[in-house]
Chains A and B, each alone.
Chain A
Amino acid sequence: MAVLNVNGKSLQANADPRTPLLWVLRETLGLTGTKYGCGIAQCGACTVHIDGVATRSCQVPLSSVSSGKKIVTIEGLAQDGKLTKIQQAWLDNDTPQCGYCQSGMIMAATALLAAKPNPTDADIDAAMTNICRCGTYKQVREAIHAAAKA
C-alpha cells in the first residue's frame, strides 16, 4: 500500500509499484481528469505536476512518487470552485474543442507560467509539446498570453 500526496491530500493507493501514476490516479484514486492518450510520453494528455514540475504521468511508476512527493492534478487547480487565472483565461478564450487534451495543456501551461510569468511565443513552443487533435493550438497560445497579463 503506497501513500501518495495528491492535491494536498494524503491518499492510499493499493496497486503494483510498477503501475504508472496515470493509471493509479485514474483507476485507483478515481481522479479521471488526467487523461490517457498514448502511454509513451508523446502526447502530454497525462501531464501532472510532481513537486511543481510538469510530468507525463504515464511514464512515472507508482514506486517513484510514493515518498511524499507532491502531486497536483487538474482536479487540484481550482480551489473551492474558483478557477485559477489560467483556467479562467482558457474559459474566457473559449479554448477547448473536445477538451480531451486540455487537462494536460493546462497543467503544462501552469508549470510554464510558474517558471516564466511572461513567456514569449518561443517559450510557449518549447514548453507546450502536448498534442491536440482538434487543433486548439492557436487558442491555447492566446490563452497563455492572456493569463500572463491577468
Chain B
Amino acid sequence: MTIQTSLGRRGFVVGGATVAGGFSLGFSFPHATAQAAEVQEVNAWVVIKPDDTVVIRIARSEMGQGTLTGLAQLVAEELECDWSKVTTEYPTPGENVRRNRVWKNFSTGGSRGIRESHQYVREGGAAAREMLIAAAAAEWKVPASECSAANSVVKHGSGKTATYGHLAAAAAKLEPPKEVKLKDPKDWKVIGQPLKRLDTRDKLTGAMIYGIDYKMPGMLNAAVKACPVNGGKLKTFDAAKVEKMPGVKKVVSVDGNTVAVIADTWWNAKTALEKLPVEWDVGKSGNVQQDDITALLKEGLTAKEAFVGNKAGDVDAAIAGAAKKVEATYAFPYQHHVTMEPLNATVLYTADKCEVWCGTQNGEAALAAAAEAAELPVAKCDVYKLMLGGGFGRRGRADYVRQAVLIAKQMPGTPVKTLWSREEDMLHGLYHPTTMCKLTAGLDAQGNIVGLRVRISGQSILASLAPQSLQNGMDPATFQGFMPSGPEAAYGYNIPNLLIDHAMRNPHLTAGFWRGVNVNQNAVYMECFMDEVAEAAGVDPLEYRLKYLKPKYAAVLKAACDKAGYGKPLPAGHFHGISQVMGYGSYVAGVSEVSVSPDGVLKIHKITAATDPGYTVNPAQIERQIAGSFVYGLSAALYGEITVKDGVVEQTNFDSYNVMRMDEMPEVDCALVPSGGFWGGVGEPTIAVAAPATLNAIYKATGKRVRELPLMHQELKKGA
C-alpha cells in the first residue's frame, strides 16, 4: 500500500479547478481536474478508482500500532469492498479544516484510534456502499432494494452486475443517504479477522519515508541545542566561531532558549553545533538535584491537602478499627519515550504560506502549532503526515514542529529539516511523570479488607502540558486505573471504605503522556500492594483478588491465569506473579513467570496476557500489541529511569538509558477474551500489567518486595 503524502497530496490539495457536485457527505471541495477524472471520491472516507482500487482515507496516524489497518477494516466491512484492492491515504489537517472537520479528530493517542472513531468511519463506509448501490439501481432502472453489494460488486436479482470502479463516478454525484444501518457484529467478515497490515512491504526495503527521510530540492538541515535545563534561556553564542565550517549557512537563535545551526547536511550542522560556544542562563532550576525531587514527593505522601479521585465510606474510621494494618510506600521514576526515530520536521516557510512534513500523532495540533509559529492564518498552512518511527505519546505534542517552523522562518523560501540528535531528545523529553504512593489497608480478623487508603504524591501531566484542562486544580488523569467509574480506566475492586487522593508535586521537568500513561504506575502500586495484603490475610493472591474484583475484571484475570496454568506445578525455581487493571476501555491481566538465581540474576521466562477489549478488530495485530506492550513495560521496569543533576537530565543516549533487547525477551502468550458490546483500546493497557506481575513473581522467588523501580538498582541476591 501507499500512504499518499507529500507532493502527491499537495498537488491534490492545491490543484485549482473545482468540480461541480456534492461529492462528500454534504461537502464539496476543490479538486484538481486531472485527478478528478481518475480519482473518484464517493465520500470523504472512500475513493474508488476505475480499476476498482479502493482508497480508504485515514485521519488518525499510523505509528506502529496497526491503527491504519484496523480503521481500514472498519470502513471496508461496511463498504463491502474487496479487501485485496484496499489502499489507504491520509487527508491533511488543512483539508480537514477546509472541509469543516469532515474527518473529525486526527489525534492518535490514548489507544483511541479505533475506539473513538469506529462509529463514524463505519457509517462512512456504509454510506458509500449505499451510494454505489443507488448508482447501480439508477443505471439499471430498478429499485435499490433489489440490489446488493459484496466484494466490490453490486448485483441485481436479474443477474446484472457492476463493479465499484464502474459505479464510483455516478455514485459520487448522488445525495448521501440520511441514515445508514450498520451491520450486526455477527455478520462481520472483515472486522475480527487476523488480516495482514497494509503498510509492511515498504518497511522491509528501505522505501518507507519517515519524517527523517523526507527530502526537498534545495533543502537545508538544522541541528538544535536547547538550554539543557528545562525553563532556562539562551544567553549568548559566538556564531563567528563556526560560520566558516563546512556547509554551514546560518546560526540562529530560536525562541530565546535554543540555538540552531543550519547547514547543507545535518551532519555538518551537528558537527558545527558541537563546536559552537554557547552560554546559557539556566535559571532557578539549575540547582535542582534528584534528592530534591525525591524530598518533594515524600513530603506529599503525608501532606494535608490533596485532590480526591475516589472515595467511598469512611476510610479513617475503618482503618482505625481494623484488626490488622498493612502499609507500604512505592516509588516510580521519570521515564523517557525514546522513540526510535528522533524528532524532526521539515518546513517550507514563505511570507504567505507555511508547509510542514513530519511524523505526528496529532496532525491538527501540529497544524495549529505551525500556524502560530509562522504567524499565518491556519488556512495558509498545512501539515503533510509521514510515517512515524514510533510515537508512544511523544509525538502528540507539537513542540518540535513549532521549533522547526521558527527555524525555517529565518530562511524564507528554503525548505529546512530540523532533526534532534538522540542526545537532544533525551534532554528535552516529555517524561513519564514521577510519583510515589503510600497505601494503607485495614483488615478485619478474618483478613477481609475493611478500608483502603491510597495517597499518590507527584507530578501531573496536565499541569505540564495543558494547565487549562485541570479541574479546579485537579488532574483527573492522575487517577487512571483508580477512577470510581467510567468506560476509561475504572478501579476494579469493591472496597467498602476507600480514599484515593493525589498531592500534586510538580518538579521542573516537563511531564508528558507516555504510552500507558498513569495506568502504568497506578497498576504497580495497587497490584503489588494487593499481593502484600493477600499475604497478610494468608490467602493466595488470585483467590484474594477474586473476592473483591468486579465481574469483567475477574473474568479477564481468570482467563490469564488459566492460560498461564497458574496454580499448576512450574519448573523448579520458577514462580508466577499476577496483576490486572482496566485501562483505555479494555480489561487486561498478566501472569509473569520468573526465576531468580541464588546470585540474583532475574530471568523472565514467560509472560501471559488476557485482554477483553469488547470487540477485537484484528486479533493478529492485538497479539502484536500485547507482545510489544510487554517489551515497553518490561523495558521500563528493568531499566527505565531519568534522573536529574544540577537541573539537567543525566541520561544522554541508549548507553545510559537502557532498554530491553532480544535476549531478554520472554516467551509471550495471550488469551483474547472479547465479551462484546464495547470498544476498548489495545495499544497501551497491557503495558501496565507487565511490571506488577513481574514484581509479584520476584517476591515469590526471593521473598523481597521491590517497591522502587527500575529493577536494575535492586539487589535480588539471596540474603542481600
Give a binary string over B195-226; 1 marks a CB under 8 Å from any A CB, 0 the rest.
01101111111111110110100000100000
A97 to B625, CA, bound (A): 9
Q: List 24 A–B pairs whose Cβ atoms lie within 8 Å, in order of A's numbering.
A: A27-B221, A35-B210, A36-B212, A37-B340, A39-B422, A74-B204, A75-B206, A77-B205, A78-B204, A90-B204, A94-B196, A94-B624, A96-B197, A96-B204, A98-B387, A98-B389, A99-B208, A99-B387, A128-B662, A129-B663, A133-B340, A133-B392, A135-B628, A135-B660
Contact B422–A139 (Cβ < 8 Å): no
Contact B665–A38 (Cβ < 8 Å): no
Contact B654–A40 (Cβ < 8 Å): yes
CB proximity of B575 to chain A, nearest CB, Å: 22
Contact B265–A32 (Cβ < 8 Å): no
- Judge if B267 is at the interface, Cβ distance under 8 Å: yes
| Chain A residues at the B interface, C-beta cutoff of 8 Å | 15-16, 19-20, 23, 26-28, 30-40, 42-43, 45, 73-75, 77-78, 83, 87, 90-91, 94-103, 106, 124-126, 128-141
Contact B390–A135 (Cβ < 8 Å): no
| Chain B residues at the A interface, C-beta cutoff of 8 Å | 63-66, 196-197, 199-210, 212-213, 215, 221, 246, 265-268, 338-342, 387-392, 421-422, 620-621, 624, 627-632, 653-655, 659-663, 665, 668
Contact A133–B339 (Cβ < 8 Å): yes
CB proximity of A30 to chain B, nearest CB, Å: 7
Answer whether A35 and B389 are a contact pair too, CB < 8 Å, given A94-B196, A133-B338: yes
A48 to B68, CA, bound (A): 30
Contact B200–A27 (Cβ < 8 Å): no
Contact B629–A42 (Cβ < 8 Å): no
Contact A98–B205 (Cβ < 8 Å): no
- Residue among A90, A98, A99 with the highest chain B CB neighbour number at 10 A: A98
Contact B389–A125 (Cβ < 8 Å): no
Contact A136–B204 (Cβ < 8 Å): no
- Is chain B's interface secondary structure helix, strand, loop, or mixed overall? loop
Contact B63–A98 (Cβ < 8 Å): yes
A137 to B206, CA, bound (A): 19
- Residue among A31, A95, A99, A124 with the highest chain B CB neighbour number at 10 A: A99
- A-B pair count, CB < 8 Å, reads 171
Contact B267–A136 (Cβ < 8 Å): no
B215 cross-chain contacts in A, Cβ below 8 A: 30, 32
Contact A94–B620 (Cβ < 8 Å): yes
- Residue among A30, A35, A38 making CB contact with B212, cutoff 8 Å: A35
- Residue among B204, B620, B653, B662 making CB contact with A87, cutoff 8 Å: B204
A57 to B463, CA, bound (A): 41
A103 cross-chain contacts in B, Cβ below 8 A: 206
B246 cross-chain contacts in A, Cβ below 8 A: 16
> A-B pairs with the 8 shortest C-beta distances?
A33-B206, A135-B631, A99-B203, A100-B389, A98-B64, A135-B628, A97-B64, A125-B663
Answer whether A100 and B204 are a contact pair too, CB < 8 Å, given A30-B215, A37-B422, A94-B620: no
Contact B340–A45 (Cβ < 8 Å): yes
A83 to B201, CA, bound (A): 9
A51 to B266, CA, bound (A): 27
CB proximity of A59 to chain B, nearest CB, Å: 13
Contact B628–A96 (Cβ < 8 Å): no
B65 cross-chain contacts in A, Cβ below 8 A: 97
Q: A36-B212, A39-B422, A130-B662 are in contact. List 17 more A-B contacts (CB 8 A).
A: A27-B221, A32-B206, A32-B212, A33-B206, A34-B206, A37-B341, A43-B654, A74-B204, A94-B620, A96-B203, A99-B387, A99-B389, A128-B662, A131-B659, A133-B390, A135-B632, A138-B627
Answer whether A98 and B340 are a contact pair too, CB < 8 Å, given A39-B422, A125-B663: yes
A95 cross-chain contacts in B, Cβ below 8 A: 200
A125 cross-chain contacts in B, Cβ below 8 A: 662-663
- Residue among B197, B201, B206, B663 with the highest chain A CB neighbour number at 10 A: B206
Contact B655–A35 (Cβ < 8 Å): no
Contact B628–A94 (Cβ < 8 Å): no
Answer whether A135 and B387 are a contact pair too, CB < 8 Å, given A73-B206, A124-B662, A125-B663: no
Answer whether A138 and B665 are a contact pair too, CB < 8 Å, given A96-B200, A102-B203: yes
B620 cross-chain contacts in A, Cβ below 8 A: 94
Contact A137–B422 (Cβ < 8 Å): no
Closest-by-CB residue of B relative to A32 is B213
Contact A91–B200 (Cβ < 8 Å): yes
- Residue among B340, B422, B628, B629 making CB contact with A100, cutoff 8 Å: B340
A150 to B196, CA, bound (A): 20
CB proximity of B427 to chain A, nearest CB, Å: 14
CB proximity of B352 to chain A, nearest CB, Å: 30
CB proximity of B120 to chain A, nearest CB, Å: 26
A128 to B665, CA, bound (A): 12
Closest-by-CB residue of B relative to A107 is B206
Contact B662–A31 (Cβ < 8 Å): no
B422 cross-chain contacts in A, Cβ below 8 A: 37-40
